[in-house]
């Protein structure tokens, strides 16, 4: 188990949550052409996720401190 997003000392594993962040630090944005290759494996069908068209690739460094959040749905 892992701690819940609310940081109330209760453990959980299966939740849909929102997250709150503070101290955001953004780096420069880089863009260009891109390719993506996904291959099937015995346990996953990753090639079904392959896009039909790639219009570009982008990279940006993002740093933040996560400061709790809210549970939208619990799997328990």
pLDDT at 76: 64
SS3 46: helix
**DSSP β-bridge partners for residue 3:** 11
First to last CA, the chain: 12
Please tell me the pTM assigned to this model. 0.50
- pLDDT tens digit string along 15-72? 888 988 899 999 999 999 999 888 878 888 887 888 889 999 999 999 999 888 888 8
* Residue boundaries of the structural domains of the chain: 2-67
In angstroms, the CA 47 to CA 22 distance is 36
Mean of the per-residue pLDDT values for the chain?
A: 87
């Amino acid at each position: 188990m892992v701690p819940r997003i609310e940081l109330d000392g209760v453990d959980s594993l299966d939740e849909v949550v929102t997250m709150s962040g503070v101290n955001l630090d953004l780096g420069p944005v880089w863009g260009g052409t891109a390719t993506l290759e996904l291959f099937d494996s015995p346990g996953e069908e990753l090639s079904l996720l392959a896009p039909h068209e790639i219009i570009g690739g982008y990279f940006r460094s993002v740093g933040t401190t996560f400061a709790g959040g809210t549970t939208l749905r619990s799997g328990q």
